[in-house]
Structure 1
């Protein structure tokens, strides 16, 4: 019984580290993007839509990574936002593993459903 408790505690520590590292990493990436913005500007063209000037943000992963390679600030900021969104998704994945190791099948199923819902929402958001 004690080994299960110890393993649960280890998984909780891993989840805590994932959340801390994810938030800190995304904050650092966003701050780097902001510094690039103040030094170089957006790096993306301004478009006029409905009489308003708007910056054409990178929306696809390929655009984001191409923008990062080119040193465009908004692409770096978008990467930071993506990392911030990815952090709780990784927490759900680790939770599925933790529940599996505890042989808690009900919570494995529930958490897997949550992961599927997150993936569908991200896919639908990516498509629009």
Structure 2
């Protein structure tokens, strides 16, 4: 086997490995988010439907979500679960950038990086609005 075909085989094996990692990220992310949200739901039921905040108020800032989670407030715990669920595909985009970089696919590195920037901008806009 010549060096070029060996390098192609190594790259193909690495891509299969990266694709498995991407699949595992999606699986684990959804399961972790579901477990956290289920824990928040159990806390909500234990507290008799009181989410730990006044009626019509939920934690919306990162600091209030963290403080509420430490205090085991159900709404805050469920917000952490939602955050994990939202971050799962974002992490997938980051790993995809790496995968395209390893394939030397510059066009898709740029396109996926633009997608990541758009996601980050949407988080900032969503937070400020």
- Structure 2 residue runs of 5 or longer lacking an equivalent are 1-7
Q: 1:45 aligns to what?
A: 54
For residues 72-111 of structure 1, what are the structure 2 equivalents within 5 Å?
72-111=73-112
Scaled by the length of structure 2, the TM-score of the pair is 0.92
**C-alpha separation in 1, matches of 2:101 and 2:38:** 37
Q: 1:28 aligns to what?
A: 35
- Superposed CA deviations along residues 28-87 of structure 1, whole A, max 9, x for unmatched, are 0000000000001211012xxxxxxxx201000000000011110000000000000000
Q: 2:10 aligns to what?
A: 3
| Cα deviation, residue 19, structure 1 | 0.3
RMSD: 0.6
**Higher strand residue share:** 1
1:116 maps to 2:113 = no
Larger radius of gyration: 2
Q: 1:19 aligns to what?
A: 26
Q: 1:50 aligns to what?
A: none
**C-alpha separation in 2, matches of 1:71 and 1:81:** 16
- Structure 1 residue runs of 5 or longer lacking an equivalent are 47-54
**C-alpha separation in 2, matches of 1:107 and 1:35:** 43
**C-alpha separation in 2, matches of 1:29 and 1:116:** 27
SS of the residue corresponding to residue 44 of structure 1 reads coil
| Cα deviation, residue 127, structure 1 | 1.1
| Cα deviation, residue 126, structure 1 | 1.0
